[in-house]
Amino acid sequence: MEQEFRRRMLVVAGLTIPVLILSPSIQGFFGVRLPPFPGDRLLLLGLATVIVLYGGWPFYVGARQALRQRRADMNVLVSLAVLSGYLFSAASVLLGLGVDFFWEISTLVLVLLFGHYMEMRAVRASGSALRELASLIPPSAHLLRDGEVVEVPTAEVKSGDRLLVRPGERVPIDGRVLEGRSSVNEAMITGESRPVPKGPGDEVIGGTINGEGALRIEVTKTGAETALSQIIAMVERAQASRPPTQRLADQAAQYLTLTAAFLGLGTFIFWWLIAGQSLVFAVTLAITVVVIACPHALGLAIPTVTTISTGLAAKNGMLIRSAEATERARRLDTVVFDKTGTLTRGEYGVTDLVPLGGWTAEQALGTAAAVEVNSEHPVARAIVAAAREQGLTLPEVERFEAVPGQGARATVAGEEVIVGSRALLRSAGIDLSEAEERVRAGVRGRSWVYLATGGQARAAIGLADIIRPESYQAVTDLKALGLEVAMLTGDSEDVAAYVAGELGLDTWFAEVLPGQKADRIRELQEQGRRVAMVGDGINDAPALVQSDVGVAIGAGTDVAIESAQVVLVRNDPRDVVGLIRLSRAVGAKMRQNLLWATAYNVVALPLAAGVGVPAGIVLAPQWGALAMAASSIIVVINALTLRRLRLAPSA
């Protein structure tokens, strides 16, 4: 479409030059008078006819479609202005009246085509994010077939095929690593700037960039099932959606079109029949009114912002299902996070270690980790991970025995060691009075494991669901934006109070069953709050649906979460801050564009209708067309400034 307008614009420009040369008014303006020749007026008519028919054709087609749908739009106004001026001029030539608008109409069509061409270039720039996503998939892949590497088109790769991805290459399609280790840059899909380590069993996403090692992968998804295809489809649906503000703008454009048509007629009647001006003067102002009032800027004010914002969000790992979700997000006043796996990592970590009986913390942790290294229990893994983080050397262990639900026993350096719950140690006759007293005086919200050797308690180890480091900044930034932050969890009041205290939350709901989370959201809404719910999109599905804006976090490659209006690819609560900032910036751009489009018409229409005539100010139709085109381009350029918005969390 852009190239078609460019072609028509160049043809019309070539034909407009002789029209300007042959026009007496243009000759008079430059103080030049070319000698008339037989048929010169008919030649002007012929040139103008080609310009009007060929150059104006796209507008006539659009006007016909609009009228068939019983609505008036910009194309109707443009067609009315061009055809009325042309028909008046053609009748003048054929009847020998000696008055015409050929040069005005020709330049009007040229300016309209130029304006649309520039606008389409600007709109094309607004969709660059989506095109960048679509271009990530390489055209070919290295297929492993019978021990050989064969290069095949990516489109021909099937699920189950095995591919080789060399260092520095883009992963051609979604798959699972079979052999090799590397780090993969997923920034273009998830917005995560740090390379992600990959090894056997890990998932890789088509379009991402392989790092330093070669990978052999098995294809798991093809076609529309791939993560990138789903992201592109979701963004396209969002860009095609119409927020409430757009519907308001459409209605305003309808009224403006009808107003312009009647105002143009009224302008003609006033200046010709009432003010006694010439027919040419009255027609000139009437055409200018109709042209300058075209509601094109009003029609572009919202869609361009929607297109840019959804593409920008996708590049930063935020997938917005509809433009309405963005509009709702900017009106939020409360954000509710699920605790486990969202604000916390969803896995245990050692937070406290209380040494007893003369032992050091390092000695106790190393001994406990030596016993637990053979266990798969989450608590055991946390203790072992803590010891390894500190670089502790673990002693040799003999006769390991797991006690289901309670802990484990083993022999270390010839001495029995017990690591486990209070019940396990008490059943072994261990005195825990000192340990329990020290624990009671400590921090709440912990699960405690005890260590004993030689019949004596040696340490109390406190564990908790580790709070994500990113959660602290997310809560701080959301509060700075004026939002209240709350937390939902199925954990005990003790644990919930600890996490809320660490993060500085004033509101939390503890011991909430999955089926009750939606009720808590509803209670907040009944208090008049506009609530976003942030969760994993699976266990929290009813709460996400109930909320004003449901946000599924940490989706990874599984972006098809129907319960959420917004899907965050990364498991980073700071992306919620980015979503709020984007929604507010989008709202500001929409208001700016609507204000400009409205103010432009408020100022331009009276001027076009002849308010400035007493001061000698008269707008010709081509200047009206230029003003109309300029207003549309300004609206698009203003929307394009959204691309400078930084959404990625600061390090």
Q: Which H or E element spans position 347?
A: strand 344-355
For residues 188 and 205, what is the distance between their CA atoms, to the nearest angstrom?
10
Reported in sequence order, the residue ranges of 115-244 that DSSP labels E, i.e. its strands, are 140-145, 148-153, 162-165, 175-179, 182-185, 196-198, 203-204, 209-210, 215-219
Alpha-carbon gap, residue 264 to 72, rounded angstroms: 15
| DSSP 8-state assignment for residue 271 | I
In 469-562, the DSSP E strands lie at 484-488, 507-509, 531-535, 549-553
Q: What are phi and psi of 340, to 5 degrees?
A: -70, 120
Is 202 among the catalytic positions?
no
Expressed in percent and rounded to 5, the helix, strand and coil fractions of the chain are 55, 20, 30
Q: How many Å apart are CA 116 and CA 630, to the nearest integer?
A: 10
Measured CA to CA, the distance from residue 205 to residue 184 in angstroms comes to 9
What tokens were used for 216? Answer: 């052999």
| Dist CA 88 CA 85 (whole Å) | 5
Q: Provide the 8-state DSSP code for 569.
A: S
Contact 315, 129 (CB under 8 A): yes
Q: Are the CB atoms for 395 and 368 separated by under 8 Å? A: no
Using H for helix, E for strand and C for coil, what is the string for 49-75? HHHHHHHHHHHHHHHHHHHHCCCCCHH
Question: Which one is catalytic: 100, 161, 174, 338?
Answer: 338
Q: Whole-angstrom Cα distance, residue 63 to residue 57? A: 10
Cα within 13 Å of Cα(496), Cβ side: 18
Burial 429-456 (b: 16+ CB within 10 A, else e): ebebeebeebbeeeeebbebbbbbbeee
Q: Are strands 549-553 and 531-535 parallel, antiparallel or unpaired?
A: parallel
- Tally helices (H) and strands (E) across the chain: 24, 22
Q: Are 319 and 239 in contact (CB under 8 A)?
A: no
CB 75 within 8 A of CB 257: no
Which residues are the active-site residues?
338
